[in-house]
Chains A and B, each alone.
Chain A
Amino acid sequence: MSISTPGGPERRPTVVSTGKKPAAGRPASGAKAASGKPAGSPRAGGKGPRKPVTPVKVSQGRAWGPIALFVAVGVLAAGIIGYGAWASFQGSKPWDKRANAIDGIVNIRKSDPDSLKYEAHKSGPLTWNYSPPVGGVHNAAWQNCMGDVYDAPIANEHAVHSLEHGAVWITYRPDLPQDQIDKLAGKVRGVEKMLMSPYEGLDKPISLQAWGYQLKVDNADDKRIDEFIKDLRVNASVEGPTALCNTGITATGTTPRELQQQPTQ
């Protein structure tokens, strides 16, 4: 609609030569007024019908108002469409591309893939090249990761198995202020494929792990924490999205447990 108005008045005067013109001009100027155009236009449109206007005079004065408006609307539309396209493009990017774009993330799948290979489950204490570990050999039992917030350190041997199932494991230095711990816990509680525990000897206050990925940050307010969770939770699973996070170990303590034999039948 707005396109028709600037086109009308601008064009009409230049072509006009007979008395017929005012009649044709009327509806256009009326429509213009109704759509509330800025000051520039009424001059050209309003005067037209009253007196015979010399072509020279009108063709000279360009209706800058409508032009400016048209340009502004055009720029705005292009901006909206452009942003929408950009956002949907970003959203449809594969998770590993998005994860790699996180500033400071360490991609062990790329830098050290051999460290993630293992033959079979192993019982007893195990060692890894990364602290906290991000994948590789692990215990037969996984640590429960149904949004579990552990208030004491847990066994790496179980947590790495949780990572294999697609969990994001948030670890923090035990001296992290309580308000920051609460903030982190808020990202974990009630969310499957999430677990969190304090960790002794971290070189940064907070460290996030997914299978083959690690990100260390100083503060619970760091926006990259949410990005890491969004990009890697479930996605990083080695065994598909339905690998279990329940029926595992729920106890704390850094010594790996052997599964308890339960009375059956």
Chain B
Amino acid sequence: MTAPSTTDSEYDEVEAAPQESGRAPARRYGVLALAALLVVGLLLGYAGGLLTPRLTRPGDASVEAGFARDMTTHHAQAVEMSLVAYRSATLPEVRQIAVDIATGQQGEIGAMQTWLREWELSPTGSQPPMSWMSDGATVKNGLMPGMATPQQMAALRDARGIEVDRQFLALMYDHHLGGIHMIDAALGETDNAEVLRVARTMKATQQTELNNLRQLQEQAAKG
């Protein structure tokens, strides 16, 4: 691009000047100004393109970041419960749904942690848990909605036989209810397409699993 323009201007300068005095330089400046304008315009466009995703991505105190962090914590406990059930439950259907929940939610943790990295945010937030939810969901003893207490988790780990199934199903049922409450809050407050997509999948999955858990609870009640 630069090569032709220099050649042309040389000719204009050396040869054309004597013939049509005045016109050539004016045209040259016109062309130069146009080229400069074009370059400036391209640079502005490029800078705008670079900056836009940076300016529009979720910030540290955003709903999206809060959801990703808190749902990671929430999911992590579900994975632990599910792996206990997968290892020790009696009913094969309970073991089956448990391992499905464990791998599914671990996968979702991976997605949420990737968001935080892409947004250049820490996986750890400075805000207290659940503060991103505007409806003021309650945190009891540092636990988000539906999460099991340390005592309940210890009891699940110590349980044997069909008792593992019963405790797991009850804990996971509450866990999913609390999870759906959090997902609904995120769905209502974000317009981030990727967060919406994953949150919708989470909600649909957990709602179906609630039905399956309830059905299994009846089965486990019989022993």
Q: Which residues of A contact B (CB under 8 A)?
A: 1, 3-4, 7-8, 11-12, 15-18, 20-21, 24, 28, 118-121, 140-141, 238-244, 247-248, 258-262, 264-265
Contact = CB atoms under 8 A, between A and B. Distances in A.
Given A3-B4, A7-B7, A264 B96 contact: no
Contacts of A121: 93, 212, 215
Given A119-B211, A240-B198, A264-B90, A7 B103 contact: no
A259 to B, nearest CB: 3
A242 B93 contact: no
A120 B3 contact: no
Contacts of B212: 120-121, 140
Interface in B85-111: 87-93, 95-97, 99-100, 103-104, 106-108, 110-111
A4 B7 contact: yes
Contact of B90 (A119, A141, A261): A261
Nearest to A122: B215
Contacts of A242: 103-104, 106-108, 110
Top 3 closest pairs, chain A to chain B, by CB = A242-B107, A259-B92, A120-B211
Given A24-B15, A140-B93, A141-B96, A265 B7 contact: no
Contacts of A16: 15
A244 B3 contact: no
Main secondary structure on chain B at its contact with chain A?
Answer: helix
Main secondary structure on chain A at its contact with chain B?
Answer: loop
Interface centre among A17, A18, A239, A261 (most CB of B within 10 A): A239
B205 A239 contact: yes
Interface range on chain B: under 10, 10 to 19, 20 to 34, or 35 or more? 35 or more
A250 B189 CA distance: 43
B91 A17 contact: no
A239 B89 CA distance: 23
Contacts of B16: 15
B160 A240 contact: no
B91 A24 contact: no
A1 B3 contact: yes
30 contacts: A1-B3, A3-B4, A4-B7, A7-B4, A17-B19, A18-B18, A20-B15, A21-B15, A28-B7, A120-B211, A120-B215, A140-B212, A141-B92, A238-B201, A238-B205, A239-B104, A239-B201, A240-B104, A240-B107, A240-B108, A240-B198, A242-B103, A242-B107, A242-B110, A243-B100, A247-B99, A258-B92, A259-B92, A259-B95, A261-B90
B50 interface: no
B10 interface: yes
Contacts of B215: 120-121
A181 B110 CA distance: 37
A7 B8 contact: yes
A121 B92 CA distance: 14
Nearest to B110: A242
Contacts of A4: 3-4, 7
Contacts of A261: 90-92
A11 B10 CA distance: 12
Interface string B5-17: 0011011001110
Contact of A259 (B10, B93, B107): B93
A243 B10 contact: no
B26 interface: no
A11 B8 CA distance: 8
A120 B8 contact: no
Contacts of A260: 92
B204 interface: yes
B104 A243 contact: yes
Interface in B158-196: 160
A24 B1 CA distance: 20
A224 to B, nearest CB: 26
Contacts of B198: 240
Contacts of A1: 3
A15 B8 contact: no
